[in-house]
Structure 1
Amino acid sequence: MNVSVKMFFSFLVIGLTTMVCSKPVKSSAQHLETITVSYTESNEDFPNPERGFYRYSETSAGNFIPLDQDQLKEWRNGKKADGGNYSVKSTLVFRYYILNVFKDKPLSAAFLNSVKADFDIARKAGSKLIPRFTYTNASNAGNCPEGFICPPYGDAPKSIVLGHIAQLKDLFHNNADVIACVQMGFIGVWGEQYYTDHFGDASQNGSAGKLLDDNWRDRTDVLRALLEAVPADRMIQVRYPQLKQRFVYGIQALTSAAPLLDNEAFKGTDKARIGFHNDCLLASPDDYGTYEDYGNSSSVRRSDLAVLKEYKKKDSRFVVVGGETCTDDYSPQNDCAPAGIAQSELESLHYSFLNCAYNNDVNNDWQTGGCMEEIKKRLGYRFVLQSASFPKSLSAGQKMNFRIQLINRGYASCYNPRQVKIVLRNRTTGQQFSIDTDADPRAWYSGDIKLESDVTVPSTVTPGEYETFLFLPDKYGSIGNRSEYAVRLANNDTWESATGLNKLGIYLTIK
């Protein structure tokens, strides 16, 4: 864990043309002639919202340095990773807010305004933030059992933490459009809920070496406050899987507690909103205590790697997962296949984003080992059009049945709500009509995706020939028409960069 800065899969390009039209066929269901188009897959690495390698940025309340809009745009367009031998195109920025001057008092209006300005800068740049608030990210060495980091650690008591979270509520709600997710933070050095003066020190420096019931209550109180302060359509990431279990099922919950099920996912409940960040991915067999049972007043601390990792594998299918590597000590296990398990780990735990600034002793090995390009493309979602079928002609106000077949090559689905629309554009006048579908790309998990729907062509559509598009915009009106915040499909020659629309290569006649 660094004090300043804290994934064999090839995509085949089939054929030379992007879209191949089949001859029209009769649809027995609607008695309408249909046209079907097939697509070729792109091998390009390109930016997409809320996924990929993120850029790291920090500022302290005592010396606030705002985000730089030009730098965020530069990161989005592609730039070499800090300390890396590879380049990335980043739509996400991890933003550390170090509350070093507010450990015993409320946040100032000036600080809150500075954070608001950061959100405004991110919005103008076409980026989203992953904010984490902490009171210290400095480790003080000394004469204690762990040596490299000793108490006092420098975080704040529960009463101060809860007060600060309450103060941040309006900021979270007013800027949810450019928040990808929020990391729990607040407790302990780096906001990682471990080395802490006030919430139970489970390290060798602590007298108990585990967490007691009161420690769990205090931690779950902070998580509850954060869930209440952050809008219901945004997730909170916690550092340790057991914290989610003990929040959801109580402080006596066993590590065998049940993960989320399909019918519970994306419901806006607390259980459905808690994801994970692993800040020591592939650092050791248990990722430096990530899969540890930290006990309680009546049980001992113990390793429970197999059970907790299996829980996280199942739960992570439905929640946001990200983090960073932190040491190369676990080489070759943390390398590319076949020597290492980097790709399989990222896939089984459904990673959406990783830090490109730390630890590049590990990340650089992925570049030299030949799996970095795969990891860059597969972090989060990567939706690929396979085929699409639409009626060749129909009338305004008529039901339109369409079928679109995709595949998600990524490690995960979308984790935030997102709209799916069919857009019709008149080839003569350029007038556009947008038709909502009931599809939810959060349920477009890795593998095959079938989008089939009956939608009604608006009665206001004038007769003429129309080009069709698939549009996956952000749900928030503030950025919903901006191409930087729309999902690009991984196909050749389908993306309209100016509009954020994905061309389907199908032309309809509206009578």
Structure 2
Amino acid sequence: MKRYLPLLGLLLAVGCSSDDKSSDQDQDEDEPTTITYTASQDDFPNPERGFYHYSDTRASNYSPLDADELATYRSLQTADGASYSVVSTLVFRYFILDMYTAAPLEESFLAKVQADFAAARDAGVKLIPRFTYTVTATPGDCPESFICPPYGDAAKATVLGHIGQLKPLLQDNADVIACVQLGFFGTWGENYYSDYFGDASGNDQGKLLDQNWTDRIEVLQAMLDATPRHIMVQVRYPQFKQRHTYGINALTNVAALTETEAFSETDKARIGYHNDCFLASADDFGTYEDYGNSSSPRTGANTVLRQYFADDSKYVVVGGETCSDGYSPQNDCAPAGKAEKEMSDLHYSYLNMDYNNEVNNDWVTGGCMDNIKKRLGYRFALTTGTYPTTLTEDDKIDIKLTIENSGFTSPFKARPAQLIFRNTTSGEIIVRTLATDVRRWFPGTNTIEESLEGGLKAGTWALYLNLPDAAATINKRPEYSIRLANNGTWDGATGYNSLNHTLAVK
């Protein structure tokens, strides 16, 4: 274990500075030390955030995920048509159930889905799964012309049966699921062009009726019930969450999540959003629309639903993709556009790196892509840390950390925050879990001040901050631990963040 000592000395030299005056003869050696850390400007992979890689497979012609390929996504990769490269820990996975629109899922298919989850686990990435029946827009002689009915999705009874069959897979593989998208009904699983759940397009009724809402809410509830309570389920439209929460007559100005309700694992706290036409138009192609019901018309609700989305999204997962460059320059970088502001206001954790690169490439030429790559989701950097220098075995361990989150949002999944003590002679590891909740390390400055149990043996102990995954199956794997955006702190072998301080216990 002596091999850590030279590294620690180097990190102290380049990664931080200390306000410790213990070398001063007049300084009490028991005084705490405050260390100032240097923020990194590097882009690097971190779990459950950033640009994702797109992947799809059809039940009729299954193309399995390959663990070796998935592992390469953690290093710089460039998508077709992209003028930028990204590092990624997320893989969007379309499961297209084209063989099963009127039949139960076969065990052979379920086994293939299980193998995909296993490949993600082997590779050190997480999946964003969406199950759907069709991703094909069939043009024809109908009002919308580019897509005409029948669309090709499945009836409610079939959908509910499939969700029941998928439940064991969702439960057993929760460790490598970042979040789940509702999917199932509507072309692309986007809950719009549907043969069975109401067609709000100009091809049919132009709004949703009471029975349509009732059927949609039943499917969403089935997905919430099939998915572990610590996993969030994303819906395509904010009004869908409102009507699930408050009923099919709910107005668009209902209350968003409050900080007290947040992360409580209630259904309201678990429903997030995937906006698959981010910055595509003034209302993101109907994302912020009141789709009516049997007694009310469809109407625009852009302002009120945007505000609801902004307030609610602080506490739930938000992601999606761009889909059209027709809203340029508004979807460009500042000053002409509002791309970064929109991501910040609406708390985006992830976006698609593969689509639509007419939009995404503009962020390169506009000069904001590097910021977007680093700011999607969370980005934590230690500013200062205050720690004891000398203790007796029975003393409490008082620490104070100041952490700046320069990301667009905070983590949407719970994970422990651990102070790690490593004996510099024996290598013994002692773990003390902090009471803080990393999901509440919101953008801006966060101060964590705690008094921890003592009981360390006499000796010298190096301090680390560990932010591992909550799942026992992967919480020892550094790929699933959060890396701080500081110079000279990351230990890639363990997933620990060095605090560049040693504590002497007498």
TM-score range, shorter chain: over 0.9
> Which amino acid is 1:472 matched to?
L
Q: How many residues align?
A: 490
- Per the TM alignment, residue 23 of structure 1 is displaced from its structure 2 partner at its CA by 2.1
Equivalences for residues 111-510 of structure 1 within 5 A:
111-206=109-204, 208-457=205-454, 459=455, 461-510=456-505
- Aligned partner of residue 217 in structure 1, secondary structure: helix
- Per the TM alignment, residue 83 of structure 1 is displaced from its structure 2 partner at its CA by 1.7
Give me the whole-angstrom Cα distance separating, in 1, the residues matched to 2:394 and 2:135: 60
Per-residue CA deviations over 1:313-358 (Å, capped at 9, x if unaligned) read: 0000000000000010001110000010101000000000000000
- Per the TM alignment, residue 171 of structure 1 is displaced from its structure 2 partner at its CA by 0.6
- Aligned partner of residue 425 in structure 1, secondary structure: strand
Per-residue CA deviations over 1:6-57 (Å, capped at 9, x if unaligned) read: xxxxxxxxxx94210112489xxxx952111000110000000000000000
Counterpart of 1:107 in structure 2 is 105
Per-residue CA deviations over 1:87-108 (Å, capped at 9, x if unaligned) read: 0001000000000001111111
Per-residue CA deviations over 1:238-285 (Å, capped at 9, x if unaligned) read: 000000000000000000010000000000000000000000000000
TM-score, normalisation: structure 1: 0.94
Counterpart of 1:13 in structure 2 is none
Give me the whole-angstrom Cα distance separating, in 1, the residues matched to 2:378 and 2:267: 23
Give me the whole-angstrom Cα distance separating, in 1, the residues matched to 2:103 and 2:391: 65
> Which amino acid is 2:299 matched to?
R
- Aligned partner of residue 277 in structure 2, secondary structure: strand
Counterpart of 1:10 in structure 2 is none
Counterpart of 2:6 in structure 1 is none
Counterpart of 2:68 in structure 1 is 70
Alignment check: 8 A CA contact 1:24 1:36 kept: no
State the percentage of identical aligned residues. 55
Say which of 86, 94, 97 aligns to 2:95.
97
- Aligned partner of residue 224 in structure 2, secondary structure: helix
Give me the whole-angstrom Cα distance separating, in 1, the residues matched to 2:93 and 2:80: 15
Alignment check: 8 A CA contact 1:255 1:308 kept: yes
- Per the TM alignment, residue 234 of structure 1 is displaced from its structure 2 partner at its CA by 0.4
- Per the TM alignment, residue 78 of structure 1 is displaced from its structure 2 partner at its CA by 1.3
TM-score, normalisation: structure 2: 0.95
> Which amino acid is 2:407 matched to?
G
Counterpart of 1:61 in structure 2 is 59
Counterpart of 1:3 in structure 2 is none
- Aligned partner of residue 471 in structure 2, secondary structure: coil
Alignment check: 8 A CA contact 1:388 1:405 kept: yes
- Per the TM alignment, residue 398 of structure 1 is displaced from its structure 2 partner at its CA by 2.9
- Per the TM alignment, residue 82 of structure 1 is displaced from its structure 2 partner at its CA by 2.7
> Which amino acid is 1:74 matched to?
T
> Which amino acid is 1:180 matched to?
A
Per-residue CA deviations over 1:139-161 (Å, capped at 9, x if unaligned) read: 00001000000000000000000
Give me the whole-angstrom Cα distance separating, in 2, the residues matched to 1:172 and 1:393: 48
Say which of 74, 77, 80 aligns to 2:78.
80
Alignment check: 8 A CA contact 1:278 1:324 kept: yes
- Aligned partner of residue 221 in structure 1, secondary structure: helix
- Per the TM alignment, residue 182 of structure 1 is displaced from its structure 2 partner at its CA by 0.1
- Aligned partner of residue 161 in structure 1, secondary structure: helix
Counterpart of 1:37 in structure 2 is 35
- Aligned partner of residue 269 in structure 2, secondary structure: helix
Per-residue CA deviations over 1:169-203 (Å, capped at 9, x if unaligned) read: 11111100000000000010000000000000000
Can you give the 5+ residue segments of structure 1 that lack an aligned partner in the other structure? 1-15
- Aligned partner of residue 273 in structure 2, secondary structure: strand
- Per the TM alignment, residue 397 of structure 1 is displaced from its structure 2 partner at its CA by 4.1
> Which amino acid is 2:248 matched to?
I
Per-residue CA deviations over 1:117-156 (Å, capped at 9, x if unaligned) read: 1110000100000000000000000010000000000000
- Per the TM alignment, residue 399 of structure 1 is displaced from its structure 2 partner at its CA by 1.4
- Per the TM alignment, residue 506 of structure 1 is displaced from its structure 2 partner at its CA by 1.0
- Aligned partner of residue 253 in structure 2, secondary structure: coil
> Which amino acid is 1:80 matched to?
T
Give me the whole-angstrom Cα distance separating, in 1, the residues matched to 2:385 and 2:195: 58
> Which amino acid is 1:221 matched to?
E
Per-residue CA deviations over 1:351-370 (Å, capped at 9, x if unaligned) read: 00000000000001101111
- Aligned partner of residue 131 in structure 2, secondary structure: strand
- Per the TM alignment, residue 395 of structure 1 is displaced from its structure 2 partner at its CA by 2.7
Give me the whole-angstrom Cα distance separating, in 2, the residues matched to 1:78 and 1:231: 32
Give me the whole-angstrom Cα distance separating, in 2, the residues matched to 1:359 and 1:494: 36
Give me the whole-angstrom Cα distance separating, in 2, the residues matched to 1:220 and 1:446: 32
Give me the whole-angstrom Cα distance separating, in 2, the residues matched to 1:166 and 1:47: 34
Alignment check: 8 A CA contact 1:24 1:34 kept: no
Give me the whole-angstrom Cα distance separating, in 2, the residues matched to 1:396 and 1:433: 13
Alignment check: 8 A CA contact 1:336 1:371 kept: yes
> Which amino acid is 1:49 matched to?
P
Per-residue CA deviations over 1:364-398 (Å, capped at 9, x if unaligned) read: 11011110000000000000100001111113343
- Aligned partner of residue 313 in structure 1, secondary structure: helix
Give me the whole-angstrom Cα distance separating, in 1, the residues matched to 2:73 and 2:453: 41
